[in-house]
Structure 1
Amino acid sequence: MLKPSTPDGHDDALEDTIVAVAAAMSDASRVKMLCALMDGRAWTATELSAVADIASSTASGHLARLVKGKLITCLSQGRHRYYRLAGHDIAALLEGMMGVSWKRTDPMRTRTPQHLRNARTCYDHLAGEAAVNIYAALVDEGWLQADGAALTEKGRARFQQAGIALNPNPRRKACCACLDWSERRFHLGGEAGAALFLHGEHKGWLVRTPGFREVTITPAGRLALKKLFNIEV
C-alpha cells in the first residue's frame, strides 16, 4: 500500500520533528534544566549544571543538545553566556507536560507543594491558585472573553485605568487561557498575562524567589488583588 505524500513532498516532516523534540528532552538532566528555566530568567551554564547536579563539562553537552533542538537559546553578554527558553510556546509545552506527568505519579508521594500551588511563574506570567482565581474574576466581571482569547473593551479600559500597560501591536497572542497544571483550571497567559505580572512586580505586589518558580504575594499585593479583582489570597 502506497503511503500518501504531502503536497511539498516532505512525507514525515512533522513526525520527524516531534521525534527530534522528544529526543532533545529525553534526559533527566536536560529536563531539570528546562524546568529551572521556566522561571522566565536567563541562567548561566554553571547555574544550570548545579540545578541538574552534573559537572560543567557534562552540562555543556546537554545545553548544546537543547540549543540544537531549538528548545533554548544562548545569549552572549560580554564574556558571559546565558541560556533561556526559546519562547512562550516552549514554556507552554513544558507546563502542559508537567501537568500530564504529575497525574501519572503516586499522589500519596508527590502532592503539589503548597508554596508552588499558591503562586508561581509560568515563564513570564502568574500561575497557581491566585492566578486561576484572577482568571475566573476577569471572566465573571466581563473583562475577558469566556474562551480567554481576548480582553473585552471593558477589560482593556480597566487594565488602562489600573496602569497595566498593554502592547497595542503584540508579537504574540494578546491573550490566552493557559491550563494550570496544579489547579486544572485556566490562568491568564499571553501579552495580557505578562503585562499583569510585570505590573505586579513593579508595584511590589509580587516577589519572585531567586532561582525558583515560587512567587510571594505581599500584603500590598493581597490588598491590590482584593481591590482589582475582589479575590482573597
Structure 2
Amino acid sequence: MTIDDLWAMERIGKITVTPDGSKIFYASSVYSMELNKGNSSIHAVSSDGSAPKGVKTSEKDESSPAFVPALNKLAYIFNDQIYLCNPDGTGEEQVTAYVSGVNSFKFSNDGKYVLFTSSVYPSCGLENECNSTRDFKAEESKVKASIFTELYYRDFNRWRGDKRSLLFLLDLASKKAYELTPGAYYDVPPVALGSENDFNFSPDGKEAVFTANKDKFLATSTNNDIWTVNLQE
C-alpha cells in the first residue's frame, strides 16, 4: 500500500438510517492530490445490499446527513447552512442563512424545531451584520499580530480567536432562532473531547441537553459536564 492508495480511498462520514431500516444515507469524502483538496457528497444505499446512489453530489461539500422521520425529509449541511430535501435528493429547501454558518444540528422528534451550533462572536449572537462587520474588520486590519494573556489560544491547526461555538434553537415555522447559551465564554460542544453528539432534545422536546466545560482554564481541564435548558420558558 502506498500514499497514492491511501489518498484514493473513499472516506465514509456520518451515517443515518430510515426508521424502517430500509435505506441508509451516508456522507462520503474523496480527495485529490493534484488539487490538494477534498469534496464530500451524500449517497444512499438500500439495506438489501444494492448499489449506492448519489443523493447530493455537487462540486461543493454536502455533509452531515440526518433523516427526519416526522418530515420524511433528509437534512444536511451545504455551504455551511442547513438544507432539507426529499429522500431522492429533489425538492431542496434552505433552512438557515447565517453569516456564521452552522457547525452541527439536531431535529426534534416532531420535526418542528432544530438545535444547532454556530461559531459566533458572543456579543453578536446570530446577527449577520454584527458578525460580518467584525470579520471584515479583522480581515482588513493591517495588524495581524495577536496578544494572548492566557491559554487556551490554539486548537490543533486553528487559532481560537474571539469566536465561540454557541447553541441555538430554531423554530421552523417562524424561522426565529433563540440563543440557548447567550454570551457564553465556553463552547458547545466542548473544544476538548467534544463532538456533534454533545447536544440533543429530550424525547418530549421540552428540554435541550448539552455538554460544556465551564472551567476558566481549559488548557488544563477536560471537566465536561452535562447541562439542561427548559425550552418551554
TM-score scaled by length of structure 1: 0.30
Name the one with the larger strand percent: 2
Greater relative CO, 1 or 2 (CA 8 Å, sep 6+)? 1
Name the one with the larger helix percent: 1
